[in-house]
């Protein structure tokens, strides 16, 4: 008993003060929100488009764009780019509410997730129970969702909790490209959640199929299967990215907080 108490004292308090205080320092090599600077691009250069393993980079009438719904944050584009037009910042904030908001463009602000409104916010703002469905997930997204339950992030202090039964849940968190063999189970689990309900897609595979996009064994993610309320991109997203997304959805982080925490 004394040994346990002594160890408790020794290990100390490890919960991060975020979001009330500063977020933890992230590794300098972390690949977070990419920044595009098209003005540096050479005319006709296609190097980044060719290097991207998931065709996340594309060019349209508005110029060069990077779809974070497909992006693996692998940095192949940065390595291939001869002019430094694409850089990954260490900004962990990536979650958005609409699929098209995941597209990063040169000189355009990235539209982070807005809070739920009205009745939905009243219902879920202070208590959100989620059921996780891994549908072809590779255990990394799942691991970083589990991390939110550790003493470091202590998800429970925000009233957010992962629950065992979809009947007890307010929504589902989907990971993986939705393998054909999990499609039915995903639909059944979603149907078992009482309305109104949320769907949260975590990771490139859940959003677009990622590397598996177009393969007959998978369904290119959950985006076209269920109405998604929150997209959290990444491969896998950092736990702080997921937490940031959930808190934004619940209106627990506002624009002023963000400016204070990430002085530019």
Partner 1 sequence: MNTSGLTLTRAGQAIPRGSIAALPFADFRRVVIDQAREGLAVAALFGDVPAGSERVDLYVVLADRESSRLGVGKTTLELDAFASLTPDCARVHLFEREIAEQYGVRPEGHPWLKPVRFHGSYRSGHDAWGRGPGEPIVVGVTDFFRVEGEEIHEVAVGPVHAGVIEPGHFRFQCHGEQVFHLEISLGYQHRGIERSLVGGPDKKTAHLMEVVAGDTSIGHATAYCRVVEALAGRQPPIRADALRAIALELERLANHTGDLGALAGDVGFLPTASYCGRLRGDFLNLTALICGSRFGRGMVRPGGVRFDVEPSRVEECSKRLKKALRDVTTAVDLLWNSSSVQARFEGTGTVSLEVATDLGLVGPAARACGLECDSRRDFPSGIYRFAQAPISSWNTGDVFARAYVRWLEIERSAAFIMDQLQSLPDGPIEAPAGALRPDHLAISLVEGWRGEICHVALTDHAGRFARYKIVDPSFHNWMGLAMALRDEQISDFPLCNKSFNLSYCGHDL
Binding region for partner 1 (CB under 8 A): 3-4, 7-8, 10-11, 14, 27, 29-31, 51-54, 72-76, 131-147, 149-152, 162, 164-166, 176-177, 179-182, 185, 189, 205, 211-212, 215-218, 235-236, 238-239
Distance in angstroms (rounded) separating the CA atoms of residues 226 and 255? 29
By CB atoms closer than 10 A (0-12, 13-18, 19+), residue 10 is: exposed
Which residue, 193, 189, 218, 194, is CA-closest to 206? 218
- Cα 136 from Cα 209, distance rounded (Å): 10
Judged by CB, which is closer to partner 1: 43, or 164?
A: 164
Q: How far is the CB of 119 from partner 1 (least distance, A)?
A: 28
For 121, phi then psi, to 5°, come to -70, -40
Name the phi and psi angles at 80, rounded to 5. Answer: -80, -25
- CB closer to partner 1, 54 vs 223: 54
CA 38 – CA 127 distance, rounded (Å): 43
Shortest CB 61 distance to partner 1, Å? 26
Which is closer to partner 1, CB of 41 or CB of 133? 133
Shortest Å distance, C-beta 254 to partner 1 = 27
Cβ 143 to partner 1 shortest distance, Å: 6
Based on CB atoms, which residue is closest to partner 1, 115 or 187? 187
């Amino acid at each position: 008993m004394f040994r346990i108490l002594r160890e408790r004292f020794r290990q100390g308090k490890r919960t991060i003060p975020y979001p009330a205080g500063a977020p933890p320092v992230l590794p300098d090599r972390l690949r977070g929100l990419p920044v595009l600077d098209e003005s540096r691009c050479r005319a006709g250069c296609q190097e980044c488009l060719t290097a991207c393993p998931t065709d996340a980079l594309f060019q349209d009438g508005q110029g060069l764009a990077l779809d974070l719904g497909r992006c693996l944050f692998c940095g192949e584009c940065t390595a291939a780019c001869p002019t430094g037009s694409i850089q990954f910042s260490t900004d962990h904030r990536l979650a958005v509410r609409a699929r098209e908001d995941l597209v990063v463009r040169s000189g355009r602000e990235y539209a982070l997730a807005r809070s739920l409104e009205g009745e939905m916010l009243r219902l879920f703002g202070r208590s959100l129970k989620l059921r996780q469905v891994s549908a072809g997930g590779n255990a990394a997204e799942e691991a970083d969702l589990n991390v939110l339950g550790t003493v470091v992030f202590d998800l429970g202090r925000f009233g957010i909790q992962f629950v065992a039964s979809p009947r007890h849940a307010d929504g589902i968190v989907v990971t993986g490209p939705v393998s054909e063999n999990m499609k039915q189970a995903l639909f059944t689990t979603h149907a078992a959640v009482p309305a109104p309900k949320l769907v949260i897609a975590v990771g490139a595979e859940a959003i677009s199929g990622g590397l598996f996009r177009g393969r007959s064994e998978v369904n290119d993610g959950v985006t076209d299967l269920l109405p998604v309320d929150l997209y959290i991109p990444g491969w896998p997203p950092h736990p702080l990215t997921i937490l940031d997304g959930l808190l934004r959805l619940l209106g627990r982080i506002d624009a002023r907080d963000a400016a204070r925490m990430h002085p530019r």
